[in-house]
Amino acid sequence: MSLERLRGFRDVYPEEMEIRDQVFDKIKAVVRSFGFKQIDIPSLEPLDLYRIKSGDELLGQTFNFSDRSGREVTLLPEATPSVVRMLTSRKDIPKPVRWFCLPKIWRYEEPQSGRLREHIQLNADIFGSSSEAADAEVIGLACTILDTLGLSGHYEIRLNDRVLMDGILSHLGVPDTRRAFAAIDRFHKVSSDEFIIMLKNAGMDDEAAHRVLKLSGVRSSPSEASEILDDLSLQSDAVKERLERIKQIAALVSKYSDARVVLDLSIVRGLSYYTGLVFEAFDVKGELRAILGGGRYDSLASVIGEQQIPAVGFGMGDVVLELLMRRAGSWRVQENVDSYYICTVNNKLLGKSLQIARSLRSNGYRVTVDLADRNISNQLRMAASSGSRYSIILGEKEIETGFVSVRDMNTGEQRAIPLDQMIN
Site for a second copy in 279-308 (CB under 8 A): 304
Interface characters, 347-376, with a second copy (x: CB under 8 A): ---xx--xx--x--x--xxxxxx-xxx---
Cβ contacts of 262 within 8 Å, gap of 6 or more = 156, 157, 158, 159, 219, 220, 221, 222
Separation between Cα atoms, residue 46 and residue 52, nearest integer Å = 11
Q: Does 10 bind a second copy (CB under 8 A)?
A: yes
In the bound state with a second copy, the residue whose beta carbon lies nearer, of 66 and 113, is 66
Judged by CB under 8 A, the number of residues near a second copy is 91
Give the footprint of a second copy on residues 18-47 (CB under 8 A). 18, 20-21, 30, 32-35, 37-46
DSSP 175: S
Q: How far is the CB of 5 from a second copy (least distance, A)?
A: 6
Give the footprint of a second copy on residues 255-274 (CB under 8 A). 255-256
Q: By C-alpha distance, which of 386, 392, 406, 393 is closest to 336? A: 386
Give the footprint of a second copy on residues 197-236 (CB under 8 A). none
Q: How far is the CB of 351 from a second copy (least distance, A)?
A: 5
Three-class DSSP labels, 76-107: CCCCHHHHHHHHHCCCCCCCCEEEEECCEEEC
Q: How far is the CB of 92 from a second copy (least distance, A)?
A: 10
In the bound state with a second copy, the residue whose beta carbon lies nearer, of 42 and 418, is 42
Which of 114, 140, 295, 313 lies at the binding interface for a second copy (CB under 8 A)? 140
In the bound state with a second copy, the residue whose beta carbon lies nearer, of 264 and 398, is 398
Sign of CA dihedral 69, 71, 73, 79: negative
Q: Does 144 bind a second copy (CB under 8 A)?
A: yes
In the bound state with a second copy, the residue whose beta carbon lies nearer, of 35 and 418, is 35
- 343 and 380 Cβ atoms separated by less than 8 Å: yes
Q: How far is the CB of 46 from a second copy (least distance, A)?
A: 6
What distance separates the 2 farthest-apart alpha carbons in the chain?
95
In the bound state with a second copy, the residue whose beta carbon lies nearer, of 332 and 358, is 358
In the bound state with a second copy, the residue whose beta carbon lies nearer, of 311 and 372, is 372
Q: Does 244 bind a second copy (CB under 8 A)?
A: no
Q: Does 408 bind a second copy (CB under 8 A)?
A: no
Cα distances from 359 to residues 110, 197, 408, in angstroms, run 51, 72, 19
Separation between Cα atoms, residue 394 and residue 416, nearest integer Å = 12
**Residue at 15: amino acid letter:** E
In the bound state with a second copy, the residue whose beta carbon lies nearer, of 268 and 372, is 372
| Terminal C-alpha separation, the chain | 54
Considering only the stretches 2-10, 162-170, 260-268, 406-414, report the one whose residues sit in contact with a second copy under the rule CB under 8 A: 2-10
Helix, strand or coil for residue 393? strand
Q: How far is the CB of 42 from a second copy (least distance, A)?
A: 4
- 111 and 126 Cβ atoms separated by less than 8 Å: no
Which of 98, 211, 247, 296 lies at the binding interface for a second copy (CB under 8 A)? 98
Considering only the stretches 129-137, 152-160, 197-205, 403-411, report the one whose residues sit in contact with a second copy under the rule CB under 8 A: 129-137
DSSP for 257-288? ---EEEEETT---S-TT--SEEEEEEETT--S
Q: How far is the CB of 108 from a second copy (least distance, A)?
A: 5
Separation between Cα atoms, residue 74 and residue 97, nearest integer Å = 27
In the bound state with a second copy, the residue whose beta carbon lies nearer, of 135 and 264, is 135
- 138 and 312 Cβ atoms separated by less than 8 Å: yes
In the bound state with a second copy, the residue whose beta carbon lies nearer, of 127 and 187, is 127
Separation between Cα atoms, residue 390 and residue 263, nearest integer Å = 54
DSSP 59: H
Phi, then psi, of 266 in degrees rounded to 5: -85, -10
Q: By C-alpha distance, which of 343, 352, 342 is closest to 399? A: 352
Considering only the stretches 130-138, 162-170, 188-196, 203-211, report the one whose residues sit in contact with a second copy under the rule CB under 8 A: 130-138
Give the footprint of a second copy on residues 107-126 (CB under 8 A). 108, 118, 126
Q: How far is the CB of 222 from a second copy (least distance, A)?
A: 16
Separation between Cα atoms, residue 419 and residue 298, nearest integer Å = 66
Cβ contacts of 80 within 8 Å, gap of 6 or more = 123, 125, 271, 273, 297, 300, 313, 315
Give the footprint of a second copy on residues 319-338 (CB under 8 A). 337
Q: How far is the CB of 344 from a second copy (least distance, A)?
A: 9
Give the footprint of a second copy on residues 57-96 (CB under 8 A). 63, 65-68, 71, 73, 75, 81, 85-86, 89-90, 94, 96
Q: How far is the CB of 60 from a second copy (least distance, A)?
A: 9
